[in-house]
Chains A and B, each alone.
Chain A
């Protein structure tokens, strides 16, 4: 039994989360002790442990595959568990658990009614399940299905609050995300037409033999993927849905959206580009240069827009756009340090942005105001929460001893390895801009006098626990990054195919 459990763990994580999602409406019928929410947290905690276990297995024994339902490839769907999967599974677990914990406290009040809370939990768990599915899949169409589930679920949780502006933002997000999905499916179609396969490893084999016959088709296909995943991961200039979605959604939804949902699509992009198409082909096309350029523009543009925002959540939304630029810059650099920096930044930004959004949510609820200029003196009333926001800010700026520095250092090394001094300049400039748009919030909160009495009672201990969990993760990754860094660099090496002789 235990052996079966361990062997099937890869698919079990996804299936367990899916099943839990569907029994949520039943569980919320139990009115005592918030059973449903805590069950969800427990399930996510189990997913986290499953992810850690799988990551350890991958580090020790290398990549392994799993055939769903016992059908081997190419007839069945194959899951491929490599360092990328392990890394993303850990990221999902580490971030989703505290977000759920935070959400469990006030969920019914925030979304309106108990039945709506049930649907929120269902959709949340579906989103996490889809992201885990994206992490482990090895098949192109499976990616499409998981991407769709994630899209629909993340759109729906944005509309959680029963409010005109949220529904509007959700509709815009849904339209744009579906356009993105259309492009992705078109790209998959092209790859299918070119190679006749849907399993990523098989596609890689086929393409490496035949791609020179259809360079234009391949190029078009890859640009479809870039646009499609770019819209979904808010790559500048395809980011227009993100600020509205964030400013109107409830705090846990924003946190989930910004930290994990976006990253899932980036992981999917990495899988398609490096596993399905292969590093050798990618490096011969100018795709990486385009991604580098877009990344650099995103870093600066996102940060500049963030500076102009007075609403706290919109500022954080533009900050996400800027940080996604870092990730794409890392992908564009295309060397070991660059990709390691990409993965580390996925983890670091996920934890940091979740922390910032959750703390911001608490601050907004406490003061009843959503603008930074009206939040003077919040720090005196809720020191731990704003202190957690401070930790998140320092990590986002990239101060050593926080996780943000580890990823930034890798990206800097990657830029230097390519001789790209402009990227170094942009990276350093991006940190300065991050300081410029995050520190004033702290200054307002801690060092300015409040104009009136606060509105709501203190943050509950459960929410503080969620925030502190994220703080601990950020600081431990910053001070002792060895485990995750090794996993990240293994992921980078595997993607770049450097272990295999050319």
Chain B
């Protein structure tokens, strides 16, 4: 049992990352406010960045910018950082798209609460009118 806990402690970045991932998904799925869902997406994606970058971390390493003067330096693995830059870009695009969609939904329904929207929709469908 002790070994289990010591391994968890040793790999704390990954544990944090997975915990954040779970929190992010929980937020997306359970909160009814659309903005909170988008925040959940960002938390979730943020956790993955942490995982990747932690994976590339080298103890005692410096930022991966090549310094020709000092040949004894150890650098952190540059690949995950580059990859995560791409990932951040993707996350930003997804966030932008979702926010635009939320704005449109607000214009149509007058609310940003998912439950409210469902209610209005079933009401409208029952009354036969169209939402324009």
Residue ranges of A at the interface with B (Cβ–Cβ < 8 Å): 141, 144-145, 148, 151-152, 155-156, 159, 164-165, 167-168, 170-171, 174-175, 178-179, 181-182, 185-186, 189, 192-193, 198
Name which of A155, A164, A192, A193 has the most chain B CB atoms within 10 A of its CB: A164
Interface mask (B82-120 → A, CB under 8 Å = 1, otherwise 0):
010011001001100110011011001100000001000
Which residues of chain A come closer than 8 Å to B93, judged between CB atoms? 148, 152
B86, B101, B102, B117: the one within 8 Å of A141 (CB): B86
Find out whether the CB atom of A165 lies under 8 angstroms from the CB atom of B121.
yes
Whole-angstrom CA separation of A141 from B52 in the bound complex: 12
Q: List 7 A-B contacts (CB under 8 A).
A: A151-B94, A152-B97, A165-B131, A170-B101, A178-B28, A178-B41, A198-B83
B23 interface hit (Cβ, 8 Å): no
B94 to A, closest residue via Cβ = A178
Whole-angstrom CA separation of A151 from B97 in the bound complex: 11
A167, A174, A189, A193: the one within 8 Å of B94 (CB): A174
Whole-angstrom CA separation of A167 from B101 in the bound complex: 6
Which residues of chain B come closer than 8 Å to A198, judged between CB atoms? 79, 83
Whole-angstrom CA separation of A36 from B12 in the bound complex: 53
Find out whether the CB atom of A192 lies under 8 angstroms from the CB atom of B80.
yes
Find out whether the CB atom of A167 lies under 8 angstroms from the CB atom of B28.
no
Which residues of chain A come closer than 8 Å to B44, judged between CB atoms? 178-179, 182
A152, A174, A175, A182: the one within 8 Å of B48 (CB): A182
Which residues of chain B come closer than 8 Å to A193, judged between CB atoms? 51, 55
Whole-angstrom CA separation of A182 from B25 in the bound complex: 9
Interface mask (B70-84 → A, CB under 8 Å = 1, otherwise 0):
000000000110010
Find out whether the CB atom of B55 lies under 8 angstroms from the CB atom of A174.
no
B98 to A, closest residue via Cβ = A174
Which residues of chain B come closer than 8 Å to A152, judged between CB atoms? 93-94, 97
Find out whether the CB atom of A182 lies under 8 angstroms from the CB atom of B24.
yes
B24, B105, B132: the one within 8 Å of A171 (CB): B105
Which residues of chain B come closer than 8 Å to A155, judged between CB atoms? 97
Whole-angstrom CA separation of A181 from B91 in the bound complex: 10
CB-CB under 8 A for A171 and B21, given A152-B93, A164-B105: no
Find out whether the CB atom of B45 lies under 8 angstroms from the CB atom of A182.
yes
| Supplied contacts A182-B21, A198-B79, 13 more A-B pairs, CB within 8 Å | A148-B94, A159-B104, A164-B108, A165-B131, A168-B105, A171-B98, A171-B101, A175-B98, A178-B41, A181-B94, A182-B41, A186-B21, A189-B55
Interface mask (B24-63 → A, CB under 8 Å = 1, otherwise 0):
1100110000100100010011001001100100000000
Bin the interface of chain B by size. Answer: 20 to 34
Nearest 8 A/B pairs, CB to CB: A164-B108, A164-B131, A148-B90, A193-B55, A171-B101, A182-B44, A167-B104, A189-B51
CB-CB under 8 A for A175 and B37, given A141-B86, A189-B55: yes
CB-CB under 8 A for A186 and B97, given A148-B90, A192-B55: no
Q: Give the shortest distance, in Å, between B92 (CB) and chain A (any CB).
A: 11
Whole-angstrom CA separation of A185 from B41 in the bound complex: 13
B108 to A, closest residue via Cβ = A164
Find out whether the CB atom of A174 lies under 8 angstroms from the CB atom of B97.
yes
Q: Give the shortest distance, in Å, between B56 (CB) and chain A (any CB).
A: 8
A159, A182, A185: the one within 8 Å of B101 (CB): A159
Which residues of chain A come closer than 8 Å to B25, judged between CB atoms? 179, 182
B117 to A, closest residue via Cβ = A168
Which residues of chain B come closer than 8 Å to A178, judged between CB atoms? 28, 41, 44-45, 94
Find out whether the CB atom of B90 lies under 8 angstroms from the CB atom of A175.
no
Whole-angstrom CA separation of A156 from B104 in the bound complex: 13
Q: Give the shortest distance, in Å, between B25 (CB) and chain A (any CB).
A: 6
Whole-angstrom CA separation of A167 from B52 in the bound complex: 33
Find out whether the CB atom of B105 lies under 8 angstroms from the CB atom of A167.
yes
B28, B52, B98, B108: the one within 8 Å of A192 (CB): B52
B34, B48, B98: the one within 8 Å of A189 (CB): B48
Which residues of chain A come closer than 8 Å to B98, judged between CB atoms? 171, 174-175
A171 to B, closest residue via Cβ = B101
Q: Give the shortest distance, in Å, between B112 (CB) and chain A (any CB).
A: 11
A156, A164, A179: the one within 8 Å of B109 (CB): A164
Find out whether the CB atom of B55 lies under 8 angstroms from the CB atom of A145.
no
Whole-angstrom CA separation of A217 from B76 in the bound complex: 24
Whole-angstrom CA separation of A192 from B93 in the bound complex: 24
Which residues of chain B come closer than 8 Å to A167, judged between CB atoms? 101, 104-105, 108
B87 to A, closest residue via Cβ = A185
Whole-angstrom CA separation of A170 from B29 in the bound complex: 16
Which residues of chain A come closer than 8 Å to B97, judged between CB atoms? 152, 155-156, 174
A145, A168, A186: the one within 8 Å of B86 (CB): A145
B11 to A, closest residue via Cβ = A193
Whole-angstrom CA separation of A165 from B87 in the bound complex: 30
Whole-angstrom CA separation of A159 from B21 in the bound complex: 28
Whole-angstrom CA separation of A255 from B57 in the bound complex: 45
Whole-angstrom CA separation of A148 from B104 in the bound complex: 22
B104 to A, closest residue via Cβ = A167
Q: Give the shortest distance, in Å, between B83 (CB) and chain A (any CB).
A: 6
Which residues of chain B come closer than 8 Å to A186, judged between CB atoms? 21, 48, 51
Which residues of chain B come closer than 8 Å to A181, judged between CB atoms? 90, 94
CB-CB under 8 A for A185 and B48, given A164-B108, A193-B55: yes
Whole-angstrom CA separation of A165 from B129 in the bound complex: 13
B14 to A, closest residue via Cβ = A193
Whole-angstrom CA separation of A432 from B21 in the bound complex: 42
A197 to B, closest residue via Cβ = B79
Name which of A159, A178, A186 has the most chain B CB atoms within 10 A of its CB: A178
Name which of A145, A175, A192 has the most chain B CB atoms within 10 A of its CB: A175
Whole-angstrom CA separation of A189 from B80 in the bound complex: 9
B118 to A, closest residue via Cβ = A168
